[in-house]
Structure 1
């Protein structure tokens, strides 16, 4: 079937927006599932942190080869493979009976998520050459939309009864991840943009990136921003259940409000980033997120809503930094994206481990307190680390801004 340019563009928009929607769902249904998963499989907070770190490693591994895979078998085939892989991981999670089998199934899911991240980032960077900040924020708005509905829907599905037995987290994963098959339809019908440039240019770009302080600052800032984003997604429900003694339903509702704020910021603030500059915007967003995540740790339930409002700061960080990346490295953008996301993945492995073990370590150090009190203090310490990650993103972004200004190339 022959497609005109406009029709193909809209199909590609559907692929990108739909892909980000599925991405948001697959990454953020874990919030309501983790407390039940932890209890059923008797996982410590450290072990849970290790599980999330292994997931981050799977994500990282996929990021290292996806660009190469696209060049070998094409973006279309790679995208189909990615969505099928994500759906299959839901089947494996459903049949997991112990920690080892769960690790394997989760690892497969995050391989799929990593492949999806790189594929969508490359397609979007090639497609959105004008109003880059606006369009990338709009694309990631759909990630926020998926993330917003995911915890609420997941919590509801986990409570479904089929043949007098509760569906639980396994059945929820099976149902939700089967949605990954839906974007295959527009993938098959559309024509994907081809890679521009040559391998030599890409290799030169890698060499330049490894010697460029701004490239490393972008990696650090994004790693901290992503640590805050994924840390909140993974730990907010657990925090509210253990520290504030909320029900899973109430805590999942707060996580959904966070992602609603997150989603709304991506929808509304893209044009702001194009107008005022990407670096300055990220500084403001990340410091806002850090401060609003810190305050409720010390004030308690009365200001718990600030955890959710922090989403307004967290939401635009990733797409805005990707816009800065695309504008800074116009030659070899694919390589710059791969370089950055792979190194963020390494940071994600480390920080996921750190969050889990900070919680466990501080809990064990809380001598003289009851177990519940010790666990509460440990969770607060872990969440404090998440909030500080957002603050560090802001400080690194300030240094990026300073260096870009010195070069006379403020973005």
Structure 2
């Protein structure tokens, strides 16, 4: 039941994060949002995610991981109901914000569960559990696209009904969590590493940089790839959503097959190699034009490995302080996501106006610049990994 909760949890997490790809153009049309406003919306949602990360560890210590996990799933079901009935922008933005509160709680909860349960072959098991995130992310855009056109009793689900149906699947991991018992809640406080001790470790700050830039690069694809392909290359929604699904297919296969590689070559080297590969693929796709668009999908192979490898790193380096270390790094990562999503929207708008806001060239150059920032984040992630490798190698603490 523990494994079922973790695996189902990552499936729901992948669904809630990535059904927005094909829905965003319709949300943008319904509420008449420009790219800057869209970036602000995604940033505000990332802020909700950040807020949830900041208080989830406190709730875990007070109520236990089981209760917090169930609450996070329940909040996503409730947000799906509110999204369904939202016909004004303030209600929709609030509902979306609530969904990301649930996502933030769920991410911390699942990371803590993984760190407590996967004490052997940590890299392999972390990547395997995150494979289910990639698996559901692969299917989510296609299922979302199909559901939006489904008609029941003369009524079309559209994006609101699609969100309600998909988020209601959270009932499944709630049922498995209710039947589970989870370890670690009984660890005495005096045996835990304090936050004061952790923040003195430069390695933790480098992990924050790696995780922040890696996750901005990862999550931005779900929000911007379909938009980019539709507007830059005039692809239809089905074709563009198909490319997003191929990205997550590579993403999920990498986590399924390459987890043992991280255990074999070490977490430090893995972070450098995989993030660098993702950044190079993204820039090659932009420079090569439409015929190299498949490299956008290939970038998923590299970026898939960053988050679970960092979580495995934390579990190994801070075995009695993983709860605190995970909360600290993921909270700061959330702050990076807020800034990153806003930056992408701002870059697109700024470059678009530079080349002519109403021209097709201006739109193309703006979208290319915004997506280039996604690739740049992956490169910065790799460079941060190099600094981490050097710092730990000198101290003979490579993992």
Aligned equivalents of 1:295, 1:370: Cα separation in 2? 27
Partner of 2:219: 230
- Residues 1:47 and 2:50 aligned together: no
Partner of 2:367: 379
Aligned equivalents of 1:299, 1:272: Cα separation in 2? 30
Partner of 1:124: 114
Per-residue deviation, residues 289-340 of structure 1 (Å, max 9, x unmatched): 0010111212111111110011100111110111111111123111000111
Aligned equivalents of 1:401, 1:264: Cα separation in 2? 26
Measured after TM superposition, the shift of residue 205 of structure 1 is 2.7
Partner of 1:276: 265
Does the 8 Å contact 2:251/2:300 carry over to 1? yes
Partner of 1:256: 245
Per-residue deviation, residues 237-259 of structure 1 (Å, max 9, x unmatched): 00000001000110000000000
Partner of 2:286: 297
Partner of 1:182: 172
Q: Name which of structure 1's ranges 272-281 and 326-335 shifts more when overlaid on structure 2.
A: 326-335
Partner of 2:23: 33
Q: Name which of structure 1's ranges 292-301 and 204-213 shifts more when overlaid on structure 2.
A: 204-213
Partner of 1:325: 314
Aligned equivalents of 2:281, 2:88: Cα separation in 1? 37
The number of aligned residues is 399
Residue ranges of structure 1 left out of the alignment (5+ in a row): 1-10
Q: Which runs of 4+ in 1 moved over 4 A?
A: none
Measured after TM superposition, the shift of residue 215 of structure 1 is 0.8
Aligned equivalents of 1:399, 1:194: Cα separation in 2? 32
- Residues 1:309 and 2:298 aligned together: yes
Does the 8 Å contact 2:123/2:259 carry over to 1? yes
Partner of 1:4: none
Partner of 2:384: 396
Local SS of the residue matching 2:81: helix
Local SS of the residue matching 1:182: helix
Local SS of the residue matching 2:87: coil
Partner of 1:137: 127
Measured after TM superposition, the shift of residue 344 of structure 1 is 0.4
Local SS of the residue matching 1:310: helix
Partner of 1:217: 206
Aligned equivalents of 1:187, 1:199: Cα separation in 2? 25
Measured after TM superposition, the shift of residue 139 of structure 1 is 0.4
Partner of 1:6: none
Measured after TM superposition, the shift of residue 81 of structure 1 is 1.3
Measured after TM superposition, the shift of residue 43 of structure 1 is 0.4
Partner of 2:149: 159
Partner of 1:409: 397
Aligned equivalents of 1:285, 1:83: Cα separation in 2? 31
In 2 relative to 1, CA 94–199 (structure 1 residues): closer, same or farther, beyond 3 Å?
same
Q: CA RMSD in A?
A: 1.2
Residue ranges of structure 2 left out of the alignment (5+ in a row): none
1:91 to 75, 81, 104: 81
Does the 8 Å contact 2:123/2:263 carry over to 1? yes
Measured after TM superposition, the shift of residue 375 of structure 1 is 1.3
Does the 8 Å contact 1:197/1:332 carry over to 2? no
Aligned equivalents of 2:184, 2:319: Cα separation in 1? 16
Per-residue deviation, residues 335-381 of structure 1 (Å, max 9, x unmatched): 000111111011111111111111111111113x7532211111111
Aligned equivalents of 2:298, 2:88: Cα separation in 1? 36
Partner of 2:256: 267
Measured after TM superposition, the shift of residue 276 of structure 1 is 0.3
Aligned equivalents of 1:190, 1:140: Cα separation in 2? 20
Does the 8 Å contact 2:86/2:92 carry over to 1? yes
- Residues 1:106 and 2:70 aligned together: no
Measured after TM superposition, the shift of residue 200 of structure 1 is 4.6
Aligned equivalents of 1:129, 1:196: Cα separation in 2? 17
Per-residue deviation, residues 256-301 of structure 1 (Å, max 9, x unmatched): 0000000000000110000000010110100100010111212111
Does the 8 Å contact 2:115/2:315 carry over to 1? yes
If the length of structure 2 is used for normalisation, what is the TM-score? 0.98
Q: Name which of structure 1's ranges 193-202 and 32-41 shifts more when overlaid on structure 2.
A: 193-202
Per-residue deviation, residues 53-78 of structure 1 (Å, max 9, x unmatched): 11111111111111111222222222
- Residues 1:24 and 2:42 aligned together: no
Aligned equivalents of 2:350, 2:196: Cα separation in 1? 40
Local SS of the residue matching 2:372: helix
- 1:338-353 aligned at under 5 Å gives the runs 338-353=327-342
